[in-house]
Structure 1
Amino acid sequence: MTRVEELLNNFREIAYNPEKQMAKYKAEGKKIIGCFPYYIPEEIVYASGMVPFGVWGTHGTISRAKEYFASFYCTIAQMNLEMALEGKFDGLSGVILSSMCDTLRPLSQNFKVAIPHLPFMFLAHPQNRKPEYGIKFTMHEFSRVKGQLEEIAGHKIEDEKMFEAFRVYNESRATRREFVKLAGKHPEAVSAVNRSAVLKSAFFMLKDEHTAMLKELNAELAKLPEVKWNGVKVLTSGIIMDNPKLLALFDEYKIAIVADDIAHESRAFTTDVPMDIEDPIRALAVQFANQDNDTILYDPKIEERPKYVARKAKDAGADGVVIAMMQFCDPEELEYPSLRKALDEAGLPHIKFGFDQQMVDFGQARTSLQAFAESL
């Protein structure tokens, strides 16, 4: 087994066993805070000495959560509540939920009712995030959450610790961005399944620990000679696409993911925290204001994001685009016509298939991916 394979196995073990990782931190005496999608300021949690732990649902069957949601509801929200009702979050010291879309808002209220014993922090992001009034609103919200985290941690969160967290997180983002580029250059060494596992594992690890592991993997990948890929190259787009059964189809049909526009993947680490702002809360608010090109973020120039996706695919040398559209996701469904137009104008073939976290049969995706690979 090569060192690259060994490291990829280590990342995969963490990505697919979050309960084990949570138990590890608990055994070390650390408090853990669940961070739901999207754009939770994890740096504040890290600065408090607690562990930010990503909560993005799981793969399985939804049962008890159906008492709180209609059937036509995003499965990430339903699955997160399902896990909580099953007691899988009992090891957490608190959770932070955001209000970034019409699904997350009622999830936050249903979660508060269904799981009253778990300390709950609600975070309201402004859609008008760039003007000064939007930045001030974000600062108010982040400050409020910071105060709640201080109560759970049992001590004040000093500015020095905040800036230390910024350095750790900015380094993590840079290292993950580098990994995405290297994985795109070496699909023969990094399968679609393993690429996802490396990025997914970051949600279940302290970022300094993840960065140390990933830097070693990046160094090993950088040593590899470039090999001509005997297959097709694509950019993937959507909210989340981490199911190993689905990703195995990419590997089966030799479809290399050379870049992505996935909220659970690259969108999570595109924008660094500015280090030249004296007030750390304002620095975090400015970082959020600088976030762009996401279906759930307001953009007065609605044509810009689809063009960005097409440009990103072109820059990565992709032959086409694969869109995994979350079932019942209004923002993604509303954007699709403009995204399709931008891809067509850029001469980029694309396919689209539905995805949710209850799926066990990927027959539609199999047929679409096989035909897509053959056509390219």
Structure 2
Amino acid sequence: MSYQDTVKKLEQAALHPAKTVTEQIKETGKDAFGCFPIYTPEEIIYAAGLLPIGMWGGKTELKLADRYLQSFCCSIMRSNIEYGMKGTYNMLKGIILPTFCDTLKCICENWKVAVPQVPIVPIVYPQNRNIDAGFTYIVEELQRVKGELEKLTGKPVSSDDLEAAWELYEEYRKTMREFTDAAAEYPHIIGAKTRHLIIKAGYFMDKKAYMRDIRDIIAGLNAEEKKPFAGNRVVATGLLAEPVELLDIFEENQVAFAADDLAQESRQFRTPGRSQGSFFEKMAGRICDQKGDTFLYEEEKTRGQMLIDLVREKKADAVVIFMMKFCDPEEFDYPIYKKELEAAGIPMLYLEIDQQIDSFEQIRTRVQSFTEMLI
């Protein structure tokens, strides 16, 4: 099978998550366990003999979610509640939910009533991550999550299992960093939509199998001839870049992603783990070491300078902001890094998005106009 076939395979895996998860459950013999955005301790889930599955919403008709979430909550959370109430998530052994925003905090309790058949394990990260008390608190929260999973599965999770999972996920994160670097070198092969779908497929697959596919793609790309790209290269930032039809517009206008600062994509793997300490200390260290993320408190915001550095490093032409409608944390950050990007003379395109968008014509016009301005 050529690497192009592997690309198509992962694209289909991302486009049909229910089918992919069902197949993975059968292939691995593991129970699936849902992971709400954004940072869930997948390593502990994996060590417990479970299959971590990403829960990033999707395009669906919202009929039931209104009982628990108002219309001014973000579409990812509304979709997740809708899927849960419709029974889509009944295949899951349980879910884990971090409480990063007001909506997630509400879901933590609403889920128990709205979707009682799927157990929930909450996890709370501290605001002050970079003090000793904050670090200790994260360690204790992770240990509690391990205990909750042991109760759900009825099996103990050994230290060896935890360390093996840590090593696997560190290798996964390293491999994904290599993939995004390679994809940036071949924008004529890996367009914005393809790049997104390849990364997204990892949320629905066992990481061992997924890494084999990613390495196959990297090797295939590195064997290709590098060609000049006639279009524009941008850095994407925001919660996520969906629906996928949105990315068709970027490909139509020859706009490639040189890099991203998306919560669904590079924020998941851009920060390597620490090499010293126990499993739980290394897990806590990754949360403490994350920079430039709107969902993790920083006294001095570093996101703006991080985006500036990324644009310069990747020789990008602009920054595209994918602003999820009603995502308060992302909206709070925007004025701060907007001012910094303007001061640095970096062009920006602000797009307000929603997973339930039906018409893309306004966005198409804005992307077309923006690319013409960059010429």
Bin for the TM-score computed over the shorter chain:
over 0.9
Q: Deviations over 1:43-80 (max 9, x none)?
A: 00111111001101011221210111111111111110
Two-structure CA RMSD over aligned residues (Å)? 1.2
Q: Which residue of 1 aligns with 2:290?
A: 291
- Cα distance between partner residues in 2 of 1:258 and 1:102: 32
Structure 2 matches for 1:177-216, cutoff 5 A?
177-216=177-216
Contact residue 172 and residue 207 of structure 1 kept, 8 A: yes
Q: Which residue of 1 aligns with 2:259?
A: 259
Contact residue 166 and residue 273 of structure 1 kept, 8 A: no
1:352 to 326, 350, 353: 350
Give the secondary structure class of the aligned counterpart of 2:91.
coil
Amino acid at match of 1:300: E
Give the secondary structure class of the aligned counterpart of 1:39.
coil
Q: Deviations over 1:109-157 (max 9, x none)?
A: 1112211121110111111111110011111111111011112222111
- Cα distance between partner residues in 1 of 2:86 and 2:311: 40
Q: Deviations over 1:14-55 (max 9, x none)?
A: 111111122123334311110101110100011111100110
Contact residue 235 and residue 259 of structure 1 kept, 8 A: yes
Contact residue 90 and residue 117 of structure 2 kept, 8 A: no
- Cα distance between partner residues in 2 of 1:68 and 1:94: 19
Q: Deviations over 1:277-312 (max 9, x none)?
A: 1x211221111111121011100112x211111211
Q: Which residue of 1 aligns with 2:362?
A: 364
Give the deviation of 1:370 after TM superposition: 0.4
Q: Which residue of 2 aligns with 1:21?
A: 20
TM-score normalised to the size of structure 1? 0.97
Amino acid at match of 1:291: Q
Contact residue 15 and residue 198 of structure 1 kept, 8 A: yes
Q: Which residue of 1 aligns with 2:6?
A: 7
Gaps in structure 1 of 5+ consecutive residues: none
What percentage of residue pairs aligned between the two structures are identical? 35
**1:250 corresponds to 2:229:** no
Corresponding pairs, count: 373
Q: Which residue of 2 aligns with 1:224?
A: 224
Q: Which residue of 1 aligns with 2:311?
A: 313
Gaps in structure 2 of 5+ consecutive residues: none
- Cα distance between partner residues in 2 of 1:325 and 1:195: 19
Give the secondary structure class of the aligned counterpart of 1:93.
strand
- Cα distance between partner residues in 1 of 2:149 and 2:24: 18
- Cα distance between partner residues in 2 of 1:250 and 1:207: 29
Give the deviation of 1:264 after TM superposition: 0.3
- Cα distance between partner residues in 1 of 2:47 and 2:204: 16
Give the deviation of 1:90 after TM superposition: 0.4
Give the deviation of 1:357 after TM superposition: 0.8
The runs of 4+ residues in structure 1 deviating greater than 4 Å are none
TM-score normalised to the size of structure 2? 0.97
Q: Deviations over 1:183-213 (max 9, x none)?
A: 1110101111110011001111111111111
Contact residue 85 and residue 114 of structure 2 kept, 8 A: yes
- Cα distance between partner residues in 2 of 1:200 and 1:137: 30
- Cα distance between partner residues in 1 of 2:332 and 2:154: 44
Q: Which residue of 1 aligns with 2:113?
A: 113
